[in-house]
Amino acid sequence: MHPEHNSGKYIFGFWVYLMTDLIMFAALFAAFAALRISTFGGPTMKEIFDLPQIMIETLILLMSSFTCGLAMLAVFRGKKKLSFLWFGVTFILGLAFLILELSEFRHLINDGQSWTRSAFLSSYFALVGTHGLHIAVGLLWILVGLYQIKTRGLTPFISSKLVRFSLFWHFLDIVWIFIFTFVYLMGVAT
Amino acid sequence: MRELIFGKLTFDALPHEWFTEGGTFFMTLTGLALVIYLTYTKRWKWLWQTWMTSTDPKRVGIMYMVVASAMFFRGALDAAIIWLHQSLSSGSNPGIMNADHFQQIFTAHGDIMVFFVTMGFLFGLLNYIVPLQIGARDLAFPFLNTAGFWLYAAGAMLINLFFVLGGDFAATGWLAQAPLSELQYSPGVGVDYWIWSLQVSGLGTLLGGINFLVTILKMRAPGMTLMRMPMFVWTSLCSMVLVISIFPILTITITLLWLDRYFGMHFFTTGFGGNPMLYTNLIWSWGHPEVYVLVLPAFGIYSEVVATFSQKRLAGYGSLVGGAIGVTAFSVLVWLHHFFTMGANADVNAFFGMMTMIIAIPTGVQVFNWLATMYRGRIRFTTPMKWFLGFVSTFTFGGMAGLLLASPAADFQLHNSLFLVAHFHTMIIGGALFGIFAGITYWFPKVTGIKLNERLGTYAFWCWIVGFFTAFVPLYILGLMGATRRLDHYDTATGWQKLFITSGVGLLIIALGTAIQVIQIVVSIRARNKNRDETGDPWNGRTLEWATSSPPPHYNFAVIPKVEDRDAFWVMKQKGLTKPKRYEDITLPKNTASGIYLSICAFLVGFAFVWHINWLAIAGIIGGIAVVIIRSFDEETEYVIPAAEIKRQEERHAPRT
């Protein structure tokens, strides 16, 4: 139904959307940068960040980006089963990341260090939580994508959606690298 | 249990003041009259199929204009109440209302005029005109467009909802500055209404921004290079670049405020390490460029108008484009001039002061371009041209006031005074609103096939100009005398009352102008047989929108025009217009109701969060996600009009030149 020249505008439009999302993250980073030392007598970054666990989270997310890439290669070669498999793996890795992140959040909240404790914790939960929310949306998207691959196969219509998903997923990976660096590594270093 | 179902919404919250009860009464009555009319004339199906679910940007554009016009009357009513109160409220006279109510009204006035009037009109014009000017048949993403419109409409409903469902509106000023907008100081639901009406409509604006950017960059007719685009398309492009750069900041800023209020976070609170100045910075780094979002498309309209009615090419097209891009770039570097008094050091203030002065240069360049276009042109003084000339005088006047304010030293005196209020009204009314009026009169024949009555248009123009200066020059003076903005009461010894009353007289003259504009439209439509334009090109136009019939067919152009130069239609006319030899099938987007469903969900989420009705919020979110997922399965979003049908329609409706 879609003429060939149309597919370009969808990808381009999605890029533009990603840039707007990036600006949202930029605003959250700015808020975090302004409030990171406003601990108001509560815990500092050094005290609450558990780097080994964050490292595991990071590796899992990077891995999921890699498997997402493999899934897209399968899509481009028209290998339906293989793409299904790699998207499945991506989903499991994304889910593992989200579970680890939520357990980290739960741990903090149980220790009485929730977002109401200080401005620093508010900005931390808002920034990392927004990324987590994006991951959750991505997971839902994979489920819909898997269902669409299963029922409709790798038609141009479905493939174009998968291309956009992969852009989204890699984008979240990049944002996470910034979070890992500016929130966690620099937080522990200072 | 009750709280679980209704949240904080109780019977006590329902309207119990004269103005909210009046609002409820008025809205119910209007709604009822509309329902009866539609049922009586059996128009429901027509309304749903031809308008509400339409993906045609021309229809969406008209719907934007209708909502914006309705909101204009709400905002103007607020202005009248503000002026009446300020004219009376001196000495022992308490005015017509208490301070809290007064604060709610000026807050609503600002938000409505910026978000729902000016933005609504601009998106209406963009929707209608941009696809026509670039020789396209629809937008890049028709579904996003209708979704964007309906989100805007949902936001407009949320901002008026407190009239019907009670509570109050924010009493914080139009940008809900923290910490005043925090729970501690604004415990009611007013700020929550503010947050959610802006959040929902802002999302619509963001979708619109992405859509128009992609449309302009990807869907131009063959041969229309960037430097052959009409100026309105250029300035719209710049405006949309700003939208996608700044609206995400607005979204995040008000989300953070909401997180503070709803989840007890501490971004902008006075305690727990929160930083209210962070809010001020974030909101103005959206807020200042927003002004340019409003005024840039208006610059485009003036460019079109001045070239058409001087019957000349635009002088210095390249520098106009450069000026628009310059304004776009600098506009994101000046936000701090809104709070020089915050206490940043002298270097910071000096930097932002200088940037503010520098931005006047690309703006000034454009003004000179327009004047140079008129030079030795064969000028026709039609109503759009009068609006343009009115703009040049008011905008220059207000711009000079802006340059005064740009100096931090002067700003310390003038900050938050009525001088500032007068300045930005000069810029937004003289800049954006006059542009919208010029655009409406200029393109009215395109949209309806009927020319507007020139005589009444001229009367309206003079009422606006005279009324504008009568209303706002006193405010400049009052500001210099030390009157602060948002003043609900003042001492008689100040001697300000006369000036406030003069200003109120100005408002009445403006109101007369607005009434004449309404009469102008009614009279012109009633005498449509006399005012009809059969040619599709009533002004001897230069750009592609005049190349098709008025009103344009659903598909805009039977054959996509080939562009060979700037002022594409003018060039075509010079070479002699030819009838197309053959037609091809045309693919257009189908109607969709998904945008309406999505906006209903967003409306419910906003409403639920205002009143802390968590189950409804969750239901709304799930509903919204479901709409998007269901839509993602739909492959048949377009339909084809066969060539034979196009031929039949063209032979009936083609412009008779």
Question: What would the two tokens of residue A187 be?
Answer: 């937080």
Size of interface A-B (CB pairs under 8 A): 111
Of B244, B264, B278, the CB nearest to A34: B278
Chain B partners of A125 at a C-beta cutoff of 8 Å?
265
Q: For residue B483, what are the CA distances in angstroms to B475, B480, B502?
A: 9, 7, 15
Nearest to B635 among A30, A123, A157 (CB): A157
Query: What's the predicted TM-score (pTM) here?
Result: 0.96
Q: Please report, as a single letter, which amino acid is at residue A13.
A: G
Model confidence at B134: pLDDT above 90: yes
Residue B13 has pLDDT above 80, yes or no: no
- pLDDT value of position B656: 53
Provide residues of A within 8 Å CB-CB of chain B. Answer: 1-3, 8-9, 12-13, 16-17, 19-21, 23-24, 26-28, 30-31, 34-35, 38-40, 115-120, 122-123, 125-126, 140, 144, 148, 157, 161
Kindly determine whether residue A20 and residue B214, on different chains, have CB atoms separated by under 8 Å.
Answer: no
Chain A residues near residue B269 by CB distance under 8 angstroms: 119
Inform me whether the pLDDT recorded for A3 exceeds 60. Answer: no
Whether the pLDDT of residue B640 is over 50: the answer is yes
Domain ranges within chain B, ordered by starting residue: 2-380+533-653
Fold of B2-380+533-653: Cytochrome C Oxidase; Chain A (1.20.210)
Contacting A with CB below 8 Å, chain B residues are 140-141, 206, 209-211, 213-214, 217-219, 244-249, 251-253, 256, 259-260, 263-267, 269, 271-275, 278, 282, 587, 625, 629, 632-633, 635-638
In A, minimum Cα distance to B248 occurs at: A24
| Euclidean distance between CA atoms B229 and B306, whole angstroms | 16
Pick from B143, B212, B267 the residue to mutate for testing the A interface (most A CBs within 10 Å): B267
pLDDT of residue A6: 56
The residues, any chain, with a CB within 8 Å of residue B42's CB and separated by 6 or more, are none
Determine the angle formed by the axes of helices A156-178 and A7-35, rounding to 10 degrees. 20
Average pLDDT in the B235-248 region?
97
- Chain A positions touching B278 (Cβ under 8 A) are 31, 34-35
Does the distance separating the beta carbons of B273 and A39 come in below 8 Å? yes
Structure confidence by residue, pLDDT tens digits, B303-350 = 999 999 999 999 999 999 999 999 999 999 999 999 999 888 999 999
Question: What residues form DSSP beta bridges with B490?
Answer: B90
pLDDT at B146 over 50: yes
CA atoms within 13 A on the CB side of A169: 31
Torsion sign over Cα B75, B77, B80, B85: negative
Q: What is the mean pLDDT of residues B108-127?
A: 97
Which residue among A27, A31, A118 sits closest to B248, beta carbon to beta carbon? A27
Please list every residue in chain B whose beta carbon sits closer than 8 Å to the beta carbon of residue A109.
Answer: none
pLDDT value at residue A4: 45
Contacts of B267 in chain A (CB under 8 A): 31, 35, 119, 122-123, 126
Of B585, B591, B595, whose CA–CA distance to B636 is shortest? B591
| Cα–Cα dist A36/A126, whole Å | 12
DSSP class of residue B11? G
Q: Is the pLDDT of residue B654 over 70?
A: no
Mean pLDDT of B635-651: 90
Phi, psi of B560 (to 5 degrees): -65, 125
- Contact criterion met (CB < 8 Å) for B249 and A27: yes
A120·B587 Cβ contact <8 A: no
User: E strands, B485-620, where?
Assistant: 586-589
Chain A residues with CB-CB distance to B216 below 8 A: none
CA distance, residue B309 to nearest chain A CA (Å): 36
Sequence-ordered alpha helix ranges (H) in B219-230: none
CB contact under 8 A, A9 and B140: yes
Mutate one of A5, A6, A9 to test the B interface: name it (highest B CB count within 10 A): A9
Confidence of residue B520 (pLDDT cuts 50, 70, 90): very high
pLDDT tens digits, B592-618: 999 999 999 999 999 999 999 999 999
pLDDT > 90: percent of chain A? 94
* CA gap B348, B338 in Å, rounded: 13
Q: How near does any CA of chain B get to the CA of A111, in Å?
A: 17
Percent of chain A clearing pLDDT 70 (strictly above): 96
Of A21, A126, A144, nearest to B265 by CB-CB distance is A126
Query: Could you give the percent of chain B with pLDDT greater than 90?
Result: 89
Mean pLDDT throughout B355-367? 94
Q: Do B248 and A116 touch (CB under 8 A)?
A: no
Alpha-carbon distance of A63 to A57, in angstroms, equals: 10
Inter-chain CB proximity B267 and A123 less than 8 Å: yes
What mean pLDDT comes out for the span B262-273? 95
pLDDT digits (tens, 9 = 90+) for B443-496: 999 999 999 999 999 999 999 999 999 999 999 999 999 999 999 999 999 999
Biggest CA pair distance of chain A: 61
Taking CB atoms and an 8 Å cutoff, what residues of chain B touch A35? Answer: 267, 273-275, 278
Mean pLDDT in residue range B144-151: 97
| Confidence bin at B5 (pLDDT 50/70/90) | confident
Q: Tell whether the model's pLDDT for residue A5 goes beyond 50.
A: no
Q: For residues B13 and B165, is the Cβ–Cβ distance under 8 A?
A: yes
Distance from CA of A172 to the nearest CA of B (A): 17
Neighboring chain A residues of B245 at a CB cutoff of 8 Å: 23
Q: How are beta strands B638-641 and B586-589 bridged, if at all? A: antiparallel
Nearest to B292 by CA among B122, B38, B422: B122
Domains of chain A: 3-36+62-189 (1.20.120.80)
- Is the pLDDT assigned to residue B10 strictly greater than 90? no
Helix axes A156-178, A51-76, angle to 10 degrees: 160
Q: Enumerate residues 6+ apart whose C-beta is below 8 A from B482.
A: B417, B494
pLDDT at B361: 93
Mean pLDDT for the stretch of residues B363-390: 96
Which residues of B fall within a CB distance of 8 Å from A27? 248-249, 252-253, 282
DSSP code per residue over B28-88: HHHHHHHHHHHHHTT-HHHIIIIIIT---HHHHHHHHHHHHHHHHHHHHHHHHHHHHHHHH
Compare CB distances from B264 to A27, A35, A116 and report the shortest one's residue: A116
**pLDDT tens digits for range B52-81:** 999 999 999 999 999 999 999 999 999 999
| % of chain B with per-residue pLDDT over 70 | 99
Tens of pLDDT, residue by residue over A102-129, are: 999 999 999 999 999 999 999 999 999 9
- Please name the amino acid found at residue A155: T
- Tokens of residue B151, six digits: 């989100």
Mean per-residue pLDDT over chain A, rounded: 94
* Residues A23, B392: Cα–Cα separation, whole Å: 35
- Do the chains contact at B214 and A12, CB–CB below 8 Å? yes
Lowest mean per-residue pLDDT among B145-159, B414-428, B565-579: B565-579
User: pLDDT for B173-226, tens place per residue?
Assistant: 999 999 999 999 999 999 999 999 999 999 999 999 999 999 999 999 999 999
Nearest CA in chain A to B217: A9
Residue of A nearest to B274 (CA): A119
DSSP-derived 3-state class of residue B417:
strand
Query: Residue range A166-189: average pLDDT?
Result: 96
- To the nearest whole number, what is the mean pLDDT of chain B? 94
Q: Kindly compute the dihedral angle of the four CA atoms of residues B367, B373, B378, B379, in this order, to the nearest 10 degrees.
A: -20
